[in-house]
Every structure is written in C-alpha cells, then in structure tokens.
Amino acid sequence: MGNRKKKILLINPIIQYRKGFSVGRGTQAPLGLGIIAALTPSDFDVEILDEVHDTFELKDADLVGLTSFTFNVPRAYEIASMYRAKGIPVVLGGIHASMMPDEALEYVDSVVIGEAESVWNVLLSDFLANSLKKKYFGEYLDMGNSPQPRLDLFSAKYQSATVQTTRGCPMDCDFCSVTLFNGRKYRERPVAEVLDEIQKNDKYPQLFFVDDNIVNNSKNAQKRAISLFKGMVDRGIQKPWFGQASLNIVDNEEVLKWANKSGCYMILTGFESEKVDGLETISKRRNLKRGVGFYEQVIKKMHKHHIATLGAYIFGLDSDTEQDIIDRYQYVKNSRVDVMQL
C-alpha cells in the first residue's frame, strides 16, 4: 500500500436542477481538465468526471480539482463540501475562481488564479508535502510546446474535440473576461504543433477551435490562419469545425476560402449592438471603427464561402432603452444572420 499512486479526480460540475436546459453544454470535451491531466506527472492516477455525461458519485480520491464558470459554481461548491467533509483537499480553478478567489476560498482549500500551466506542478508538490497554499497565481507562458490534453481520459460521448491555437486579446471590451484572464497580448501556438494535435485527435466527428479570435490582430495573422487551414487540407485532416472570430476574419477572402476547405461551417462573431451608443458603452472598438453597416458585409462574405454566421448580441446594455431592445430584436430578425446568441 505504501507504493499506491495518489489519485486526482478532476470534475466539471453541472447545476443539477437545470441539467435538462443545458443544451449543447456537453457537446465539447472539457479542454481545461484535459490539459491539467496532461500536466500531472505519471506517478499520480488521474480521472476526469464530467457531470454532463457522468452521474456523480463520491469516488475515492486524494485530491479533487474542480473548474467552473459562474453559472455552475454553486454546484462546484456543493461537491467541494462533500469531499472536504471527508478530509479530502479541494482545489478550484477557472474563470469564476480567478475573478472571485476570496469567495471561492470559503468553500475550497486552494484556488488557482489565472492559467494553471505555470503552477500546477508547484501545487502538486505542496500537496504531497501537506502544505497547500490558499492561492496560486498563474503566469502567462509562451504557447510553444503547450501540453496536449489527455484524450484517453475523455468520454466518447462528446460531439466535438476542442483545440486552442491562441490565447489573449488586446481589445479589452468591457463585458468580456478574456483580457483579464488571458492577458492583452495574443500568444500563438506554432501551427505545426496545432496540426499534430488535431491529427492525433480522431475520437470525435467535429472540431471546435476555442480561440476567442481565430484570426488575431498581428501583421501575420491572416498568413498564420491560412497556414493552419491549408495545413489541415494538406494533411488530409479536414473535419467539420466551428470557431470564433472578430469582423476582421473577412478582410482577406483567402482566409475564408481555406477555412471552408478545411471544414469550417460556422463562425461566431460578436456584433453585440447595431447602435453606436450601445457599442460605445462596452468599448467595442473594432465594431465602432468598421461601423455597424459592415455587419451585412461580414455575413455576405461568409455566406459566399459557405460559412454560417452565429451572431452574438447583447440585450440590456447601459444605454439601452425599452425601444432599443425592441429595435434590436427587429434588427436581428431582419438580418441574414444564421444563428443567434443573445
């Protein structure tokens, strides 16, 4: 028994009373937990439990790691209390814990603030020494040689593999957490490393690029995007994929051409509001610079290359009157956008 490996249980919690309403929540493999598992040394046993597909049970563990957004953090706290009652330490990471660490520490033993890659092994060393700290602060690391997720630990029930090729965003829109969590600088993974990861990942029929902006602002952004998409074609690893991008994705139609050739069928774009004062209240600078009249050009160019547009809109901006909300509804209804996120 003295040689028994320590067991780490990584959990993605889901609010139980809303489980029937969580449409699509389980379609993508939980990339963050897969990366944490990949960072964990082989002298630990690691298991991933995702409540989307797995029925929760109080499994044996020496250390429990939870991740959560704000919408499901109450369930994370609930699970944490069960394990702490058994004397098992619990660590919480993710966007909510990073923004509200002191609240989280009322329910868990340790909080990872920010990106975990730089601190996970430090945390594990402290755990083995029975000296876990309350807070661990992640640093922004270069994305070269990023750990590839432990695909073997993921359920086979997901619809899409998840891949990240960049982190960070300089836009700093008021409503968005990306800059706070991942920083103002775009950090790019080498394209060859991304292609290697996609090539290994044949477990799921689709692919979701989780980048907040698959074509960033740098001078070489369009060239890099084409290199990625063309690389998928050249390697014969095209599969249906969905991603996210700003209005600049349509600046170079070669980007759209190769995106579609590689399998892209839909892009989420943040339109947010069709009114200048609405965009000003959230510092949506790129949309203000292009003008709301440019939205139709975005949709038109995407359609030209057989890519659907998932338009994201915000209702209840600080400047919104009741009439603004009615007008936005009519605007979206009359637009050529294919899918709406409201």
Task: Give the residue with greater pLDDT, 55 vs 208.
Answer: 208
pLDDT at 268 over 50: yes
pLDDT at 146 over 80: yes
pLDDT at 184 over 90: no
At residue 172, the pLDDT reads: 84
E-strand stretches of the chain: 6-12, 44-50, 63-67, 90-93, 110-113, 135-137, 160-163, 166-167, 187-188, 206-209, 241-244, 264-272, 308-313, 339-341
Q: How much is the average pLDDT of 66-74?
A: 94
309: left (phi over 0), alpha (psi -120 to 50) or beta: beta
Q: Which amino acid makes up residue 175? A: F
DSSP state of 161: E
For the segment 192-212, what is each residue's pLDDT rounded down to a tens digit? Answer: 999 999 999 888 999 999 999
pLDDT at 1 over 70: no
Q: How much is the average pLDDT of 79-86?
A: 98
Q: How much is the average pLDDT of 229-249?
A: 96
Q: What is the pTM of this model?
A: 0.92
At residue 21, the pLDDT reads: 55
For the segment 91-109, what is each residue's pLDDT rounded down to a tens digit? Answer: 999 999 999 999 999 999 9
Q: Which residues of 214-240 are buried (b: 16+ CB within 10 A; e: fewer)?
A: bbbeeeebbebbbbbbbbbeeeebbbe
For the segment 284-297, what is each residue's pLDDT rounded down to a tens digit? Answer: 999 999 999 999 99
At residue 219, the pLDDT reads: 76
At residue 24, the pLDDT reads: 45
Question: What's the mean per-residue pLDDT of the chain?
Answer: 93
Lowest mean pLDDT among 13-17, 59-63, 123-127, 164-168: 13-17
Task: Give the residue with greater pLDDT, 53 vs 77.
Answer: 77
Altogether, the residues listed in the chain come to a count of: 342
